[in-house]
Amino acid sequence: MKVHLTTSNSTYQIKNIDTNSVTINDKKYSNSIIIMPEYLTDWQPTNVDDLKIAHFETLAKLEVDIIILGTGQTIHFPSAELLSPLIEKSIGIEIMDTAAACRTYTILISEGRKVAAGLLI
């Protein structure tokens, strides 16, 4: 599924998503990533069962107002305990499947929002 964004000057833009990868600019990623408009890095968890508090502590260090968590092909909610680093810093979190997370992230960056996406591929 192509994701189109025409109103952003972001360095890193999601261009396409399928069941096995996400395309950022012209590069395909088949591993989990954290993306922000000017930041992109690999992320260690491969599925929701791999998520640990340390993964959310990493997300909580980002200077954003909201985190979009893409949990793969279906929505899986991590435990409230895992979300505590975000709750403590008053960072909002939205949990959805990865394709929806990519679309939502793209819309939010086009609005100039301070957002990051943790995408489990």
CATH tag for 14-119 (out of 3.10.129.10, 3.30.70.20, 3.40.1230.10, 3.40.190.10)? 3.40.1230.10
Q: Is the pLDDT of residue 65 over 60?
A: yes
pLDDT at 52 (0 to 100): 97
Q: Where are the domains of the chain?
A: 14-119
Q: Is the pLDDT of residue 3 over 90?
A: no
Q: Is the pLDDT of residue 118 over 60?
A: yes
pLDDT at 38 (0 to 100): 95
Query: Can you tell me the distance from the alpha carbon of 121 to that of 113, in angstroms, rounded to the nearest whole number?
Result: 23
Segment 13-55, tens digit of pLDDT: 999 999 899 999 999 999 999 999 999 999 999 999 999 999 9
Q: Is the pLDDT of residue 113 over 80?
A: yes
Secondary structure element (H or E) that encloses residue 16, with its range: strand 14-17
pLDDT at 15 (0 to 100): 95
Q: What are phi and psi of 6, to 5 degrees?
A: -115, -5
Residues, the chain = 121
- pTM score: 0.91
C-beta of residue 34 within 8 angstroms of C-beta of residue 118: yes
